[in-house]
Amino acid sequence: MREITYRQAITEAMDEEMARDERVILMGEDVGLFGGAMACSKGLYEKYGPERVIDTPLAETAIIGGALGCALTGMRPIAEIMFIDFTGICFDQIVNQAAKVRYMLGGQVEVPMVIRTQGGAGRSYAAQHSQSWESLFAHFPGLKIVMPATPYDAKGLLKSAIRENNPVMYIEHKALYNNKGNVPDEEYLVPIGKADIKREGEDVTVVAHSRTALMALEAAERLEVESGIDVEVIDLRTISPMDEETIYESVRKTGRLVCFEEGHRNVGIASEVSARVTENCFDYLDAPIMRVAAKDVPIPCATELEREVIPNPDWLVTAVRKVLGEREKVPAAVGYTSCV
């Protein structure tokens, strides 16, 4: 085992896969000598040269369309979009082209491409640089969506994504790059489509992903210490296709569920998890499911305001206590009064 950062995990995954398969290329804005806006491709340009680590013009549509064209004709591109907020520009290439081309063409093609991008708030980057758009992309059949929370998952999932013959959106979280964690010395993969139980517990299930998975672990520790509440934390890791079985199994055990995400509450991943559990585990539920998510407000810049919109471990603690029937006054900030 070695300890590396989330950022290093991403670099290593790309490096190993580029060494393994020369069809793998990286393209995007400032990914070359500069090493990427989030410094994830440092050293790759020097190692693989400008033909495999390609600085593109500032043109997201051409980046994704270009990667798709490469994928359809024998390459295995990784396309980097600096912020997930900028996928608005290439939305068509992602959802109307890459996601559907195989199906529309009756299976004539495979689309081995990865869209690496980064989202999340907490940096006072304001409304166009702080969003969590996974639920948007999860709506579309034909796209796989993975979101690692730890260096271990970051490396293993990216390697799997690069080997996948379908378009994968690999969404990093901007607040996690310097987080450290253990990874094996030897090669390993983390399968796409498999959630991870990051903490076992008996009393209540929390389903989270990306940064909220880490926040859930923090909240779980507190609940254990303060009240002896035993929380099971499931990290989805893959948003789509979702590993329903792991969730259902947990809910059948605990009988209670809180869905926790950083995206807006309206039509989010938490809503989706909640709906599926209601449909499939209704008889096992001992309390209404609760969602803890961002307020339905564009992410504001000022620290005091941003803090008010983005969920934190406190919100989760309050929600867990509530589904366990502890009658506490719920702060308005949590924004789930409709569940009462």
Partner 1 sequence: MATVMKGRGEIARLDREVAEGFLRTMMLIRHFEERSLELFTKGELIGMCHVSVGQEAVAVGVCSELRGDDYVASTHRGHGHSIAKGADIGKMFAELLGREAGYCKGRGGSMHMADVGAGFLGCNGIVGAGIPIAVGAGLSIKLRKTDQISVVFFGDGATNIGAFHEALNMASAFNLPVLFVCEDNMYALSTKTGDMSGAKCNADKGTAYCMRSRVIDGMDVYAVRDATRELISAIRAGEGPAFLDCKTYRYYGHSKSDTRPYRTKEEEAEWRSRDCITTLADKLTAAKLATAEEIEAVEADAARQIEESIEWARQSPFTNPEEVSKYVFAE
Residues that bind ligand TPP (CB under 6 A): 29, 58, 60, 82, 86, 89
Query: Which DSSP string do the residues of 188-227 spell out, in sequence order?
Result: ----TT--EEEE--SSEEEEE-THHHHHHHHHHHHHHHHH
Site map (CB under 8 A) of partner 1, residues 262-301, x = contact:
---------------------------------xxxx-xx
Give CA–CA dist 108/91, Å, rounded.
23
Cβ closer to ligand TPP: 90 or 319? 90
Give CA–CA dist 126/50, Å, rounded.
34
Query: Which DSSP string do the residues of 69-81 spell out, in sequence order?
Result: HHHHTT-EEEEEE
Query: By CB under 8 A, is residue 15 in contact with partner 1?
Result: no
Q: What is the SS3 string spanning 1-31?
A: CEEEEHHHHHHHHHHHHHHHCCCEEEEECCC
Cβ contact 48:11 at 8 Å: no
Cβ contact 83:117 at 8 Å: yes
Q: Which does 339 bind (CB under 5 to 8 A by kind): partner 1, ligand TPP, none?
A: none
Cβ closer to ligand TPP: 79 or 239? 79
Helix (H) or strand (E) holding 272: helix 269-281
Query: By CB under 8 A, is residue 34 in contact with partner 1?
Result: yes
The minimum distance between CB 314 and ligand TPP, in angstroms, equals 32
Cβ closer to partner 1: 55 or 224? 55
As annotated, the active-site residues are 129
Q: Using CB under 8 A, which of the segments 82-90, 136-144, 216-224, 232-240 binds partner 1?
A: 82-90
The amino acid present at 115, given as its one-letter code, is: I
Q: Using CB under 8 A, which of the segments 104-112, 227-235, 243-251, 306-314 binds partner 1?
A: 306-314
Q: Which residues are at the interface with partner 1 (CB under 8 A)?
A: 29-30, 32-34, 37, 55-61, 85-86, 88-89, 123-129, 295-298, 300-305, 307-309
